[in-house]
Amino acid sequence: MYLNLVGINHHITPVNIRERAAVRRSRVQDALEALKKTAAHCVILSTCNRTEIYTVENHNQEKERAGLFFLKKYLHVPESILSEYAYFCSGAAAAEHLFGVAGGLDSMIVGECEVLGQVKRALASAEEAGTANLPLRRLFQASIRTGRRIRKETEISRNHLSVSSIAVELAVQSLGDLARCRILIIGAGEAGKGAVLAAREKNAGDILVASRTLERASALARVLRGTAIKFDDIPAILGSCDLVVACADAGGTIINSHQVAQALQKRNGSPQVIIDIAVPRNVDPDAGLIDNVSLYNIDDLNLISEKNHQLRKRELIKARRIIREERERFLSWWRSFSVSPVIFALMEKANRIRDAYFDKTLKKLPTLSDEERHSLEKMTEVIVTRLLQDTVDMLKENSNRDGQYSRLVSQLFRLDCEVSQ
């Protein structure tokens, strides 16, 4: 059995490419349905920083990995992009990578907490689609435990930074005091809520919230003392806003450059800052070419997040130790799991033979009392277990040898079972 990972992430892949491989929350079930045609056991983890496909496969498909096939055929990511940006790993390396992701070590904002929720959601979606088998379930549960431990046992998540809060930090750097600014937040999901909260913490004065569903915008606005506006009113209201934070999971552009140009005409030369943290992006990149418009995307937050990264360096050492511990714990489980079909088949065959000869013997001894019969049965059970104990122990002890011992035992005892690697 092989654990494989195929992914692309923010470390080397810019947002204009990453957004092509993004699987939006509303599309995850369809995507899993498509992926399971080539990999029955799979999980898709898609966040603003990464799209990763985890699969557990029976054969080592080095050449045509199911995750890669999915990115090519379902998401239509061109081969040229994949060969330049995609990464692959398997087994222990894939588990260690996921543990780092869940711990926030791989995020643009090191230590951010949102990714832990995204990892949980990825597993829940796979459970719903019926694509999470036992190893994947254990892997993701172990990663969630790792993520929690890292946040509890280290200071990596101190200050509760998030992409949304860093976006607001960038806005403060550009605009100064937010108290006199009108701010429009587009999107009332997790990212939108984070942006409104961060803006409130910076004493922002006038906050408008727009979401596709007005009730959702109203609910967020109510809690955080903002004003909900209709999605369709965004173009009309745009000119009055000093700052726009766009974070709707719309799958593409909500504001085009023409709308921004028109909005700017109403601002009498006053600058406007637009921070688009959505992936795929919500604002046409050409809007950044318009005079007095400062348009930032999620990758532009890198500079601020780099400072955060330096501050948290010491905590990274502690976090990596936790990841190593959890990786060993998971691998030890994986090894005994991988030999369990052989152990099961061995015990099953031995007990089948025992049962048959036991019944045969009983027929020749009709006068046995219940007690004598029970003692005889116990004795045969102990003989079988004791005789096979060394073989079972040897299988467990050598379970990390690519199925070598499993194959040997399976051949020696002529077992009818699939041997995992």
- Contacting residues toward ligand NAP, per CB under 6 A: 25-26, 48, 114, 162-163, 187-192, 211-213, 216, 247-251, 277-279
The residues carrying an active-site annotation are 48
Residue 311 burial by CB count (10 A; 0-12/13-18/19+): exposed, middle or buried?
middle
Nearest approach, Cβ of residue 231 and ligand NAP (Å) = 7
Which residues in 188-247 belong to E strands, given as ranges? 206-210, 227-229, 243-246
As a whole number of angstroms, the distance between CA 402 and CA 255 comes to 53
Closest CB to ligand NAP among 114 and 326?
114
Nearest approach, Cβ of residue 385 and ligand NAP (Å) = 53
CB 167 within 8 A of CB 195: yes
Closest CB to ligand NAP among 26 and 80?
26
Nearest approach, Cβ of residue 203 and ligand NAP (Å) = 23
Closest CB to ligand NAP among 191 and 339?
191
Q: By C-alpha distance, which of 299, 303, 410, 364 is closest to 11? A: 299
Nearest approach, Cβ of residue 120 and ligand NAP (Å) = 13
CB 199 within 8 A of CB 183: yes
Tell me the three-class secondary structure of 29-73, residue by residue: HHHHHHHCCCCCCEEEEECCCEEEEEEEECCCCCCCCHHHHHHHH
Q: Which strand ranges, in their side-by-side order, compose the sheet holding 42-46?
A: 42-46, 50-57, 2-9, 87-90
Which 8-state DSSP code applies to residue 14?
Answer: -
Closest CB to ligand NAP among 25 and 145?
25
Name the closest residue to ligand NAP (Cβ): 189
**Residue 166's CB: how many other CB atoms inside 10 A?**
25
Nearest approach, Cβ of residue 156 and ligand NAP (Å) = 16
Instruction: Mention every residue, 6+ apart, whose C-beta is less than 8 A from residue 389.
Output: none
Closest CB to ligand NAP among 162 and 420?
162
Which residues face 294 on adjacent strands?
273
